[in-house]
Amino acid sequence: MMSLVTEDWLLNEQVRIFQPEKGYRAGLDAILLAASLSGRKGQRILDMGCGAGGALFPAAWRLAEVEFVGLERDIVMVPLAKQGIEANGFSGRVSVAEQDVSTIPADWENQFDQVMSNPPYFEPGRITSTHEGRTHAYMAEVPLNDWLKKMLFVTRPKGRITLIHRAGVLGDILAYLMSRSGQIEILPVRSAPGEPAKRVIVTARKGLKRGETVLHEGLIMHKAKGEQDYTGRAAAILGGAPLDWV
């Protein structure tokens, strides 16, 4: 039985989203991913595993001259994402395709200028249980390497992929991307000053073999450990500002 649906707001009530009351709901990771993108007029960007639109809608709101496609396999999330597209006035520029990452058709190859993703974080067997509705979002039924492979597959040559993931798998991400992409940049995300990064945002360009890998200073979310107050930089991003990688 489907849980109740709530209408929520993102970016200081500038973007609407419809999502299940219980289970996976849009969070900070999605906002940060969306804020990390840049795009030019006429480009096509794919959000691989878009859910109800937690990253898709903020990105589409800020990059108003870019076309977006969300890819999502969950039959509950797809109609909610479509509802959000209508509510935000994105029709004609943003669409959602019901599609499993593991079975992306061959004719999707090289179709997008950029691909973004907030992949599932945990592998089956690594955690004992998930909350209702969160299984698809949390359980990495598609291995990380295969997820990255599909991201590169649908990206045009020299196009860009961007993902946010656990800092603990950064080595795995780089091990896969180093021989297949270039201009790799890494931005750590810390909850407070002095804390180890729990998330990393990684961007790379498909097929390029030049350019050193760049590790940026990163983003600090809260002013101090245990405090709820956001830093000025984080607050601006949560309000719709782009994330400055430098």
Alpha-carbon distance of 28 to 26, in angstroms, equals 7
Instruction: Examine the pLDDT at 134 and tell me if it is beyond 80.
Output: no
Residues 6+ apart with CB under 8 A from 138: 24, 120, 121, 122, 127, 130
By DSSP bridging, strand 155-166 and strand 112-117 are parallel
Contact call for residues 111 and 154 (beta carbons, < 8 A)? yes
Percent helix, strand and coil across the chain, each to the nearest 5: 25, 30, 45
Amino acid at 137: A
Query: If you count them, how many residues does the chain have?
Result: 246
32 φ/ψ angles, rounded to the nearest 5 degrees: -65, -40
Residue ranges of domains in the chain: 5-238
Instruction: Examine the pLDDT at 123 and tell me if it is beyond 50.
Output: no
Rounded to a whole number of angstroms, the distance between the first and last alpha carbons of the chain is: 46
Nearest to 32 by CA among 13, 59, 52: 59
Nearest to 61 by CA among 120, 6, 9, 117: 9
Q: Which of 1-10, 34-43, 67-76 has the lowest mean pLDDT?
A: 1-10
Topology classification of domain 5-238: Rossmann fold (3.40.50)
| Burial class (CB within 10 angstroms; exposed 0-12, middle 13-18, buried 19+) of 81 | buried
Average pLDDT score, the chain: 91
- Output the pLDDT for position 127: 42
- Output the pLDDT for position 132: 46
Instruction: Examine the pLDDT at 62 and tell me if it is beyond 50.
Output: yes
Alpha-carbon distance of 230 to 217, in angstroms, equals 18
| pTM over cut 0.85 | yes
Nearest to 13 by CA among 241, 242, 239: 239
- Output the pLDDT for position 47: 98
User: 219-245, pLDDT tens digit by residue?
Assistant: 999 999 999 999 999 999 999 999 999
Task: Name the token pair of 57.
Answer: 């809608």
